[in-house]
């Protein structure tokens, strides 16, 4: 009986963790989609805020790093752009 209860609790908790993980991934994806759309619309300052939010969740997100580097370059922040591009290259190695 104890084994069945233990197994039930394990499955229940595992399912909950899986759902939380999927919700977080979905939220992260929405942030990235919003950032990409703003970037495509030329709203770089607004897009940068979304990319910075996403990078907090995944500091090695290559997509975010590339876009942040491009935004810095387009904003004439050359040193910052170089730093971001260098770090994105390290993440891909």
- What is the chain's mean pLDDT, rounded? 74
What domains are defined for the chain? 28-92 (1.25.40.10)
| Nearest-angstrom CA–CA distance, 49 and 45 | 7
Which of the four pLDDT bands, split at 50, 70 and 90, describes residue 6? very low
Place of tokens 């260098």: 86
Place of tokens 């979304």: 50
Say which residues have a Cβ less than 8 Å from residue 72's Cβ, sequence separation at least 6.
78, 80, 81, 84
| Cβ neighbours, 10 Å, residue 38 | 19
pTM comes to 0.64
Which of the four pLDDT bands, split at 50, 70 and 90, describes residue 83? confident
pLDDT of residue 18: 39
| Nearest-angstrom CA–CA distance, 55 and 21 | 17
Which of the four pLDDT bands, split at 50, 70 and 90, describes residue 89? low
E strands present in the chain: none
Residue 15 has pLDDT above 60, yes or no: no
């Amino acid at each position: 009986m104890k084994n069945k209860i233990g197994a039930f609790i394990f499955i229940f908790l595992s399912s909950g963790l899986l759902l939380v993980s999927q919700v977080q991934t979905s939220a992260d994806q929405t942030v990235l989609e919003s950032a990409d759309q703003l970037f495509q619309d030329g709203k770089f300052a607004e897009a940068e805020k979304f990319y910075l939010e996403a990078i907090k969740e995944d500091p090695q997100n290559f997509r975010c790093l590339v876009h942040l580097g491009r935004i810095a370059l387009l904003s004439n922040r050359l040193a910052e752009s170089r730093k971001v591009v260098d770090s994105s290259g390290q993440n891909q190695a």
